[in-house]
Amino acid sequence: MKLLMFGLFAACALPAMAQDSTESSADDFWNMETPKTPIPPVTDADRAAAFPPLAHDHAHASEWQSKVLMERLEFWDAEPGTGLAWEGKAWVGSDINRLWLRTAGERVAGDTEAADVELLYGRAVSAWWDAVLGVRHDIKPGPSQDFLAVGLIGLAPYKFEVEATAYLGQGGQHGLRLGAEYETLLSSRWMLQPSLEAEFYGQSDPQRGLGEGLNSLEAGLRLRYEISRKFAPYVGWSYVRHFGESAEWRRLAGEPVRENQLVLGFRAWF
């Protein structure tokens, strides 16, 4: 009988205790959320302290910019004497319209074996590509010659820097130059740069040693150390191979068809 009376008492008391507990928890929650001291309203003095006046007025950067890049200036030891090669470019303009100047060449034992300069107008056709149109002047090899140039400069997928330029020259001569390079960051200052360049011509030109079809292929691998972001010496390897009629004419002239060289140089820009 006592057990029965205890069970009835517990059944009646538990719901009331649970309700009191729930009401107490709710009261505690609202008491925690309500600050004891009200937050004062924001004043003009508070706004002035949060947003002080600037020392200088905001201004956009100039639309016109420029850059000069000596991509490579390198030396090597050749059989006739010291070899020197260069490749550089410069541009001035905006993100949309630019004027380009490009030059490349090679000297061996004090004699210029190849040299050309290009003046191009470039216009952005996408976020990563510029279309270029202009002229190219070949100083060497052989007699000088002029070309009309049209091409693309840009960044291909996987960050390959690409230059593809087609040329139409005097006497119906036409050619194509394709170049690509890639930069691998080994550390914050060490950079490994493989490169590849090929030249094609549409017809033979014995005076300049240019054969029809694939004329030459150049591959390189250069390891540079950036003393500063604007100056970096490097050591590298360069391999050049001539093909077809170009190779035959070089054999007849006693010149090598394959050139395998260890090079030392530097890269700089400003």
Instruction: Kindly report the CATH number that applies to the domain delimited by 78-269.
Output: 2.40.160.40
pLDDT of residue 100: 98
pLDDT of residue 254: 86
50 residue type, one letter: A
Is residue 126 very low, low, confident or very high in pLDDT (cuts 50, 70, 90)? Answer: very high
Mean pLDDT along residues 90-98 = 94
> Does the pLDDT at position 5 exceed 80?
no
pTM of the predicted protein model: 0.75
Rounded CA gap, 111 and 255, in Å? 14
Sequence spans of domains, the chain: 78-269
pLDDT of residue 59: 63
Token pair 């949309």 is at which residue? Answer: 96
72 residue type, one letter: R
Highest mean pLDDT among 20-24, 61-65, 207-211: 207-211
> Does the pLDDT at position 9 exceed 50?
no
> Does the pLDDT at position 153 exceed 50?
yes
The beta strands (E) that lie in the chain are given as 65-77, 82-93, 97-108, 111-124, 129-140, 145-156, 160-169, 174-181, 184-185, 190-201, 213-225, 231-242, 258-269
Tokens found for residue 193: 């740069």
